[in-house]
Structure 1
Amino acid sequence: MIEERFDGVIFDFNGVLLWDNHLHEEAWRRTSARLRGAPLSDEEMRREVHGRVNRDIFAYVLGRAVSREEMQPLMEEKERTYRQLALASGAAYRLSPGAVELLDFLAAAAIPRAIATSSPGVNVAFFIEQLDLHRWFAPEHIIHDRGLYPGKPAPGIYLEAAEQLGLVPARCIVVEDSIAGIASAHGAGIGGIVAIGPAAEHAALAALPGVGAVITDLRHFPWAWLSTARAEVPAVLGETGGGPVAHREG
């Protein structure tokens, strides 16, 4: 059981604040089918796509290293497909259950918060415009893949996010949905890792190194982990630090 209290929250984006994995998966299936003649399988999606940066995914799809020059048009095509699918989703393209209430709560309480996403800048600009992310996040606190360091599961992006918040990693909570992202947070020395996923995945997520809690959605975020003076906790977030949370030791 987590006994520590933390001072800031870093969110992965896709699969955490935005449940759009099905859109990315469809875009990658179409891209993979064109490039290698077959779509990526569900297992490949889980192992090679979720949480990873585009250059690593294209290297897997093509079976070889991909130069920045070669990758650029491939990435633009894939992300254009994703954005078309997102816009076609209409009102269904919105932040995940509990996200708005949690972000409003963190903002009202002046709790430092950031996003650390493997998404490229072109998609991040789309997210900001479509989902009004500047309502809760300063531009410098939305950290995305710029090709400056290896992608998740390497720890670089979470080290940068903590630094941008002015916190040591051990004083931060990270909310992640992917194996690669959880490994990245653990490698960065993040003090509190919250894994998010459907109930059927809770046991597997709880067994990953560093995971302190597993939740189904952000309505169950363990707000009691926070040490900062807090505003009134909205009812949607529960009365006991996040509702039904599956904890593990460490």
Structure 2
Amino acid sequence: MSNLPDLTTYDAVLFDLDGVITPTAEVHMHAWRTMFEQLFADWDITPPYSDSDYFDHLDGKKRYDGVAALLRSRDVEVPWGDPSDAPEENTVCGIGNRKNIVFTRVLREDGIAAYPGTLRLLDILDAAEVPAAVVSSSKNAEDVLAAAGIRDRFEVVMDGAVAEREHLPSKPAPDVFLAAARMAGVEPARAAAIEDAISGVQSAAAGAFALVVGVDRGAGADALQQAGAHVVVSDLAEFADAHDARP
């Protein structure tokens, strides 16, 4: 798509992590499915967990918010608890911590690699001296970036741990994107944001970023556009290809 916007003309580019920089969404999906299938079986909850639950209730949200949203979709309410809750506890936080055990085990055993198209785009932005930042709901962002060997590519990492310390609401509220822009020293009206989650696109759109890019990893191009994406691609290699094709 040679008509794609030139990302090197923006003051900064803010990237979601899971599904945009690294395929950690696949690890998250596997971890959520494993945990919730067992939970639903133990508690006799119906209908059973499906991949659509991931996109509808979990994708792009902070871990505990996602747990609460999914249980609420089944008319199940449990105490919120505390982030220090043991994974065996039947609280929102305990259930969220239970899922994270599966995720960290898979990440440690299998590692992770960034999408090649994203690495190409990061090379182009670096050559143009355009700062890149990470905006992620995950508390594992630092570990994932380190495992992929790309932590030094980003001047700012606004992740779930930082958001929790700063008491910032979860996506689709724009607060985490706006905070990342402040940390990067740029105005949203002169920056681009890239997301693959519907809630993340909604967050960036609500923050009035100059360009909101949706990366369709399964949420659906139409859904991403309806959420506020100005353009939708299947992979960031499309931006790299468009850049290389320019005179």
Superposition TM-score, scaled by structure 1 size: 0.78
Cα deviations by residue, 1:169-213 (Å, 9 ceiling, x for unpaired): 11110010011000000111111001111599334333332x221
Letter in 2 for 1:68: D
Percent identity (aligned): 27
2:220 is paired with a residue whose SS is helix
2:107 alignment partner in structure 1: 86
Match of 1:136 among 136, 149, 153: 153
* Structure 2: 5+ residue stretches without partners: 86-91
Answer whether contact 1:32 1:61 (CA < 8 A) is retained. Answer: no
Residue 99 in 1 paired to residue 95 in 2?
Answer: no
Matches within 5 A, 1:14-25: 14-25=18-29
In structure 1, the residue corresponding to 2:227 is in which secondary structure?
coil
Residues matched between the structures, number: 222
Matches within 5 A, 1:1-250: 5-37=9-41, 40-62=49-71, 63-64=76-77, 66-69=80-83, 70=85, 71-89=92-110, 93-120=112-139, 123-138=140-155, 141-146=156-161, 147=164, 148-198=167-217, 201-209=220-228, 211-221=229-239, 238-240=244-246
Cα 1:168–1:2, aligned 2, differ >3 Å: closer, same or farther?
farther
Change (3 A) 1:9 1:75: same
Cα 1:125/1:80, change in 2 over 3 Å: farther
Please tell me whether the aligned partners of residues 8 and 173 of structure 1 are also in contact (alpha carbons under 8 angstroms). yes
Partner SS for 1:214: strand
Give the Cα–Cα distance (whole angstroms) in 2 for the partners of residues 74 and 238 of structure 1: 46
Partner of 2:88: none
Q: CA RMSD in A?
A: 2.7
- Please give the alpha-carbon distance, in whole angstroms, between the structure 2 residues aligned to 1:200 and 1:117: 17
Q: Distance in 2 between matches of 1:84 and 1:10?
A: 28
Q: Cα offset for 1:2?
A: 8.3
Identify if the C-alpha distance between structure 1 residues 36 and 144 changes in structure 2 by more than 3 Å, giving closer, same or farther: same
CA contact (8 A) 1:24 1:82 kept: yes
Give the deviation of 1:236 after TM superposition. Answer: 8.6
Which amino acid is 1:216 matched to?
S
Measured in 1, the distance between the counterparts of 2:34 and 2:119 equals 32
Q: Which residue of structure 2 aligns with residue 244 of structure 1?
A: none
Gaps of 5+ in 1: 224-234, 242-250
